[in-house]
Amino acid sequence: MIHTCHLDLREARTVNEIIGRTGSGDLFPVLNTDVGGPDTTALDTGRSRAELADRKNPHPAGFPLHEYTWKTVFLHSLVGRAEGLGSNLFGITEREALFEVAFPGMTPPQVETALQAIESSDGTFYLRLQQGRYYASLDPSETRALASIRGALHGEQVDELLAATARKAVRAEDGTVDVIHDVSVPEHIKDNTRRPVLALIALDADQIDAEACVTTVGQNRPREQQNFVFLLVPEIVHVKGEV
């Protein structure tokens, strides 16, 4: 059998015919972002949300479960849009989706799992479930979009951005104070500068020995100008000796 989900929406001529005849040109971003269309490869990730979901939770037989299911929801959102959920043509119920998508080798419970993934935090950006019907919306989910961005960030990127922001927060514009960034040990703080030194403790320092930073420039090396040292310690860094 040929199901709705078997339509190749990656092929530009097919998509232009379907989108053009239904007057749904504004849904191109939904197709490319959530399902997979002719321009999906131009996205930052190079893959649709359905592709990412199928890579994360692959079907045992290799079927693109999420793409098939979400494509069916998308195609049922092309007509009746003016009336929205007030039209029986707009959107698709869970029971209808199970009937349209399932086939030998891809069972209704598996399709149901793909439908439930639409509402998950790392699901679709534009597909929705409301009043018992799944449909495509033009308004992206900001929560899921932000969750996707956070998921794509690596710890090193976050640390570097925070460190760069901290360096910009305090600068020695007039030259009356020496500002030293990313300090984590006494050796990082210069001595005998003949003017005050403001040491910005690094955000990723687990603990700082404030007394040692003021009184020494390293192990067994006393600091001569102790009164010139000031420390700016982030709240997330523990100061030795304090609770």
Which tens digit of pLDDT belongs to each residue from 162-184? 888 877 878 776 678 889 989 99
Q: In what helix (H) or strand (E) does residue 21 lie, and over which residues does it extend?
A: helix 12-22
List the alpha helices (DSSP H) in 128-230. Answer: 142-152, 155-169, 210-215
Q: Are 188 and 143 in the same domain? A: no
Q: Are 89 and 192 in the same domain? A: no
Q: Which domain holds residue 213?
A: 155-239
**Residue 76 has what pLDDT?**
95
| pLDDT band at residue 147 using 50, 70 and 90 as cut-offs | low
The reply to whether the predicted model has a pTM over 0.85 is no
Q: What is the mean pLDDT of residues 70-93?
A: 93
The amino acid that residue 37 corresponds to is G
CB-based contacts of 163, cutoff 8 Å, min separation 6: 181, 182, 202, 203, 204
CA distance linking residue 219 with residue 221, whole number of Å? 5
Mean pLDDT for the chain? 89
Stretch among 97-101, 135-139, 153-157 having the lowest mean pLDDT: 153-157
Q: Are 161 and 124 in the same domain? A: no
Evaluate if residue 141 carries a pLDDT over 80.
no
Q: Are 38 and 118 in the same domain? A: yes
Evaluate if residue 193 carries a pLDDT over 90.
no
Q: Quick one: how far is CA 186 from the chain centroid?
A: 38
Evaluate if residue 129 carries a pLDDT over 80.
yes
**Residue 224 has what pLDDT?**
92
Q: In what helix (H) or strand (E) does residue 129 lie, and over which residues does it extend?
A: strand 127-130
Question: Please, what is the end-to-end C-alpha distance for the chain in angstroms?
Answer: 69
Q: Are 177 and 94 in the same domain? A: no
Q: Are 109 and 47 in the same domain? A: yes
Residue 105 — φ and ψ, nearest 5°? 105, -25
Q: Are 164 and 51 in the same domain? A: no
CA distance linking residue 12 with residue 19, whole number of Å? 10
Pick from 126, 152, 178: which residue ends a domain?
Answer: 152
Evaluate if residue 142 carries a pLDDT over 80.
no
Q: Are 114 and 17 in the same domain? A: yes
Stretch among 63-67, 107-111, 143-147, 198-202 having the lowest mean pLDDT: 143-147
Q: Are 127 and 100 in the same domain? A: yes
Rg of the chain, C-alpha, whole Å: 29
| pLDDT band at residue 155 using 50, 70 and 90 as cut-offs | confident
Q: What is the mean pLDDT of residues 210-216?
A: 94
**Residue 10 has what pLDDT?**
93
Q: Which residue has the higher pLDDT, 139 or 116?
A: 116
Share above pLDDT 90 across residues of the chain, in percent, rounded to a whole number = 64
**Residue 165 has what pLDDT?**
83
Q: Which residue has the higher pLDDT, 211 or 152?
A: 211
Q: Are 8 and 69 in the same domain? A: yes
Strands ordered across the beta sheet of 133-136:
92-93, 133-136, 127-130
CB-based contacts of 233, cutoff 8 Å, min separation 6: 201, 208, 210, 239
**Residue 217 has what pLDDT?**
93
Q: Are 18 and 55 in the same domain? A: yes
| pLDDT band at residue 12 using 50, 70 and 90 as cut-offs | very high
Q: Are 147 and 216 in the same domain? A: no
Do residues 197 and 181 make contact, with C-beta atoms less than 8 angstroms apart? no
The number of domains in the chain is 2
